[in-house]
Amino acid sequence: EPEVTQTPSHQVTQMGQEVILRCVPISNHLYFYWYRQILGQKVEFLVSFYNNEISEKSEIFDDQFSVERPDGSNFTLKIRSTKLEDSAMYFCATARGEGNIQYFGAGTRLSVL
Amino acid sequence: AQSVTQPDIHITVSEGASLELRCNYSYGATPYLFWYVQSPGQGLQLLLKYFSGDTLVQGIKGFEAEFKRSQSSFNLRKPSVHWSDAAEYFCAVGEVEYGNKLVFGAGTILRVKS
């Protein structure tokens, strides 16, 4: 069964450093999403991406965050200058079409020290 | 704003007993509704979905859920729980007009005692 692949599984970084989280979507999927889950809290939507542009973003997704699909396969989330409160599990999800089921990756656990 | 409420933070059931996890949503239009399961250290796995049609939907692992528009509910059920069902369960609503982003409930942690 096709799956969404996220790398790395765990990223440890120092506060103020830049991190890039990577996601390889299911091959025929066109809609891409990032969510995050702070430990003990609910899963929160960050951003949706379609046709090489952001279609929706949450209040969490401020100027420190960016997304891109640089090579037509990987879908990345960049945090320019990490803060302690960015520590969370970040999930990538992809869907074949709008309104279709979103399939989630196993997540990247980001720890900001 | 759309919201999803899962009123039970923790539920403990005996193995072999029946299970019902509650979910209520607030959404203006006909919702897309989902249940996902998350085992410790794992990602989110889709159990079942409701888009339209029959209000009783079947999912994987013997789970089912019933959409009740009048009660704005989408409760998850299983007639006989197995120890391997111990996990956290999330109800979510899809906001189609906002890029189909998912709004999740806070989750219900299921413990199964033998």
- Tens of pLDDT, residue by residue over B66-94, are 999 999 999 999 999 999 999 999 999 98
pLDDT at A100 over 80: no
Neighbours of B113 (CB within 10 A): 11
> B100 and A99: CB-CB below 8 Å?
yes
Is A5-112 a domain of CATH 1.10.10.10? no
Mutate to test the interface with A, among B30, B102, B103, B109 (most CBs of A within 10 A): B102
Confidence of residue B100 (pLDDT cuts 50, 70, 90): confident
Domain ranges of chain B: 3-113
**How many contacts, defined by CB atoms under 8 Å, are there between A and B?**
62
pLDDT at B99: 63
pLDDT tens-digit map of A5-36: 999 999 999 999 999 999 999 988 989 999 99
pLDDT band at A88 (very low <50, low <70, confident <90, very high): very high
CB contact under 8 A, A101 and B42: no
Average pLDDT on B15-26 reads: 96
Which residues lie across from B102 on neighbouring strands? B94
Architecture in CATH for domain B3-113 = Sandwich (2.60)
Of B32, B106, B24, whose CA–CA distance to B73 is shortest? B24
pLDDT above 90: residue A92: yes
Q: Residue ranges of the domains in chain A?
A: 5-112
Q: Which of A41, A98, A102, A108 to mutate to test the interface with B (most CBs of B within 10 A)?
A: A102
End-to-end Cα distance, chain B: 41
Could you report the per-residue pLDDT of A39-72, keeping only the tens digit for each? 888 899 999 999 899 999 999 999 999 999 987 7
In chain B, residues with a C-beta closer than 8 Å to the C-beta of A95 are: 100
Token couple for B28: 């203006």
Q: Which of A31, A42, A106 sits opposite B43 (nearest CB)?
A: A106
